[in-house]
Amino acid sequence: MQSQGRPFRIAILDLTVTGGLGASDIVNELRRASPGIRVILSTGYARGGAEEQGLGWDATLDKPYTLQEMRGAVERALARRTPT
């Protein structure tokens, strides 16, 4: 979609990726490429409401998670207002 000139609406990123870039490494790049993107942090570590801590995530998703929990995180992320 990005190659067709349509920005991404949502991304689910893992906090850490062995041998690769984790969420905190790429969240700002994603927001520059798609300014309205919503970002969900997926992690196996306890984060405790990272979206309220101003860390750049619109929602968190604790592993392991069900499809229903993923849907809830997507709904929360899409419902958040963009800062003005």
CB atoms within 10 A of CB 21: 12
Give the pLDDT confidence score for residue 27 in this predicted structure.
85
Specify the amino acid at residue 28. N
Query: What residue ranges of the chain have pLDDT lower than 50?
Result: 1, 50-53, 84
On whether residue 62 sits in a domain, the answer given is yes
How many distinct structural domains can be found in the chain?
1
On whether residue 84 sits in a domain, the answer given is no
Give the pLDDT confidence score for residue 56 in this predicted structure.
77
Give the pLDDT confidence score for residue 54 in this predicted structure.
53
What does the alpha-carbon distance between residue 30 and residue 34 come to, in Å, rounded to a whole number? 6
Give the pLDDT confidence score for residue 2 in this predicted structure.
54
Give the pLDDT confidence score for residue 78 in this predicted structure.
93
On whether residue 46 sits in a domain, the answer given is yes
- The model's pLDDT over 15-28, given as tens digits with 9 standing for 90+, comes to 877 787 777 778 88
Instruction: Calculate the CA dihedral of residues 12, 69, 52, 37 and round it to 10 degrees.
Output: 30
